[in-house]
Amino acid sequence: MPPDIAMVIDAETDNKTRTLHDLRLVVKKAGGVVGSTTFYFTRRGRAVFKAEECGPSLSDVLDEAIEHEGLEDVEELPEGDFLAWTQPNTLTAITEALSKKFELEILDSDIVWAPNKDTKVSIDTTEQANALDMLFNGLKEYPEVRAIYANR
């Protein structure tokens, strides 16, 4: 596992001790070390809206977004869809407001652990990518794992 990669694993379980033990083994097998990593991340709301051909532009969405407290940023994704970043406690209200105002379909809306910009790292070699892929696949085998966030 690449040494600079930090991860947060969201899991839902009825047996915390067993789940922690199992996930620690997977991380250790991949060459990782279990520890506190949440300081590398910020809890943020994330909403993805499907863009329509005759729909609003990024500028239109940004103009509307300014009106909503708690909205941090709006980005246009490569496929033309819009990504809105919010404070976690305002995600639902902002998602509904933007969807209603522009009649946008909500593709995804959830609260995530987003890596802090100054802690993002890159994967430089195929060996590092394969090791990280092996770890992700090992973690995904557990039904308790809901999401995996990494600072890459």
Which is more confident, 57 or 3? 57
Q: Is this model's pTM higher than 0.85 or not?
A: no
pLDDT of res. 88: 97
Q: Is residue 45 a contact partner of residue 85, using CB atoms and an 8 Å limit?
A: yes
Residue 131 has a pLDDT of 86
Comparing 3 with 48, which gets the higher pLDDT? 48
Average pLDDT over residues 143-150: 95
CA pair distance 8, 143, nearest whole angstrom: 16
pLDDT of residue 1 exceeding 70: no
**How far is the C-alpha of 77 from the C-alpha of 64, rounded, in Å?**
18
**Structural domains of the chain in order of their starting residue, each with its CATH number:** 7-37+117-150 (3.30.70.980), 41-115 (3.30.70.980)
- The model's pLDDT over 52-111, given as tens digits with 9 standing for 90+, comes to 888 888 888 888 888 889 999 999 999 889 999 999 999 999 999 999 999 999 999 999
